[in-house]
Structure 1
């Protein structure tokens, strides 16, 4: 059992109020030592199949009507 597992097992036996104090202390130590909080740590992204958005987006090639909206900004 590693250190993190030992801390976890001990925290499970504590009453909720004491477990909250332990969590507050751990967050204090993270701040003191410049460690990113657990919520800010990178979370792995869900795998996306290449081409899974096929058919969900339509590109209109010959549509110049929308350019009139930008007439004031174009030379």
Structure 2
């Protein structure tokens, strides 16, 4: 799973640079590398798997995933900027 995420995200970053050219913030290697590592984390996948195993004990699993997604997006943004 991790290698699949790395491959997909590396391709997406390369396409971003190809379309935007030098104007892309990911044209710098260190920015592209940071985004690649942070966006390939499996934290969101693990959170969804754990919520599904709870079988609704804490509430509707579809609604419980929303804060996990929001937190993951914030983590990606903060880690890339750092």
Q: TM-score, normalised by structure 2?
A: 0.30
Structure number having the greater helix percentage: 2
Q: TM-score, normalised by structure 1?
A: 0.33
